[in-house]
Chains A and B, each alone.
Chain A
Amino acid sequence: MSAPSLLWRGAALVLLLLFITAPQLFAFAFEPLTVNGAPAIYNQGSLLSLTLSHLRIVFLATLASTILALGLGIFVTRPSGREFLPLSRSLVNIGQTFPPVAVLAIAVPLVGFGEKPTFIALFLYGLLPIFENTLTGLMEVSPQTLDAAKGMGMNPRQRLFQVELPLALPVILAGIRLSVIISLGTATIGSTVAAKGLGEVIIAGLQSNNVAFVLQGGLVVALLAVLIHDGLGMAERRVSAKLGRAADEVS
């Protein structure tokens, strides 16, 4: 990554940290957006704790999606699981075509308000990119490489862990990154069912007609997305450079 772009990322990180820890410092920038002396900075809770809750649920949901999608992707590319490939593909795709709001609406009566329905929605939404990329990554491993691995006496387990997964890793990481980014945005709707997160700031802004609040919630989510996207992208480039592939081949 070039020096100026690194500088931009650094500046974005500092801005984000400063804003969520001491938002009052930025009141001057948001005041012009308020009317009738409404507060310029969100005052119904700590931005820091909302950000942490937001990240926590995104992290947990992505972790769960990764475990299931990766496991499923590995299973359906083994000889014993190959017949389930079409079925698992359509199931995961259905998960994706269901709107998140509908998932919430169905989940709330079943598991109640709070983090649980949000977790379910994020989890379902995170599956597809990771699953598809796991399949792509594993199926792209050259048959020659696999033939050589088998010919040298690697058993199926050794082939998976020593050859297939390391070679598929950049593509799998790209899937995880996509999934995290989708979840960061989607998690804001969790606040409609009382999950703690940055959606609260946006909703509070919409309810009180306060554009400054809406903008603050959106800004923090956007900065998080940019920074996490970059961080994971850097990890992918590291892995794929070692494989002698151009990074753009991966994403």
Chain B
Amino acid sequence: MIEIEHLSKRYAETIVVDDVSLRMDEGTITVVVGTSGAGKSTLLRMINRLVEPSEGRVLIDGQDTMAIPEDQLRHRIGYVIQGYGLFPHRNVAENIATVPRLLGWDKRQIAARVDELLDLFQLDPAEFANKFPHELSGGQQQRVGVARALAAKPAVLLMDEPFGALDPVIRSKAQDDLVAIQRRLGTTVVLVTHDMNEAFQLGDRIAVMDQARLLQYATPAELLTRPAEAFVEQLVGTAERPFRLLSLLKVREAIEPGPAEGEPVSVTDTLRDALSRLIWTGREALPVADASGALVGRVSVKGIVAHGRSAP
């Protein structure tokens, strides 16, 4: 768990982060979103003390980060930046081994961990371990960057625009992979982005920042239905709201009793996907199947649309 208490950063006269308080629960993804210059990176970098706070404090699992020597603190916190900052003179295996080596793990333990991570990120050790960063594609570099950050099994992972340099198709896959890996490892992730779609796709909770201030900290659904300020509403995109809301909900939540014709949708599909299928097939309703394939009811256009409204 990360607790940020009244954190501020001032450079001479300008305030870059203004009295921000946040609590990030263990094993969740928190996305900090806002326009460029809002102070997102500065906030993130105060968590691992790359930036020293002017006021306030950060607690990790109840311990004040100022009480931990900064290098030790950073060994315990994964860090991924836009462009990844891979070491050009070290191959993939050596890049991933960086923190374990700093921590003095023994050679066999490091080699095993590197192989494990390469597998986790779908990079064949035989092919990739000895490649140098300049021999990798953007997507591969990104995976190595995250693998390197996770090498010493940190409980916390900080990511500053980690997908910013990827093209859209690869980005979407990398986002899905991140969520899958995060769920599996139970890592607490704090991710900075200026992309609202990314925030909605990844965030268990979203912190909206503007001009050094935290405007709202809430779940994606709350952000849509109860935006705290006009700016948040505008950032969320008024026209997009119903669709964003539907993509946050699963078919499970809109099941009605009764039969329907056609190819069934799954209980775990999003309402947005189900609606899209309904529109495309021209039907009023489709059957719903559970994970085992058994039919459990139906989902209708009317029922879905009711979930896309602002107030229930």
Contacts and interface: CB of A to CB of B under 8 A. Distances in A.
Interface of A: 142, 144-155, 158, 163, 166-167, 242-244
Contacts of B48: 151
Nearest to A244: B134
B200 to A, nearest CB: 27
A149 B89 CA distance: 13
B132 interface: yes
Interface in B145-173: 148-149, 158
Interface stretch (B73-81, B223-231, B245-253): B73-81
A154 B135 contact: no
Given A163-B87, A243-B88, A243-B89, A151 B132 contact: no
B81 A151 contact: yes
B34 interface: no
Contacts of B70: 153
Contacts of B71: 153-155
Contact of B74 (A144, A152, A167, A244): A152
B134 A148 contact: no
A244 B135 contact: yes
A167 B90 CA distance: 10
Contacts of B220: none
Interface in B69-116: 70-75, 79, 81-89, 98-99, 102
B185 interface: no
Given A153-B74, A154-B102, A144 B81 contact: yes
Contacts of A243: 88-89, 132, 134
B51 to A, nearest CB: 11
Given A145-B88, A151-B158, A167-B89, 11 more contacts: A148-B87, A149-B87, A151-B48, A153-B75, A154-B102, A167-B88, A242-B89, A242-B132, A243-B88, A244-B134, A244-B135
Contacts of A147: 50, 81, 85
B133 interface: yes
B85 A145 contact: yes
B84 A244 contact: no
A158 B85 contact: no
Contacts of A158: 102
B99 A152 contact: yes
Contact of B50 (A145, A150, A167, A242): A150
Contacts of B72: 153
A40 B286 CA distance: 105
Contacts of B85: 142, 144-149, 151
B99 to A, nearest CB: 5
A149 B85 CA distance: 8
Contacts of B73: 153
24 contacts: A144-B85, A145-B86, A145-B88, A147-B85, A148-B84, A148-B85, A148-B87, A149-B87, A150-B50, A151-B74, A151-B85, A152-B74, A152-B75, A152-B99, A153-B71, A153-B72, A153-B73, A155-B71, A158-B102, A163-B87, A243-B88, A243-B132, A244-B88, A244-B134
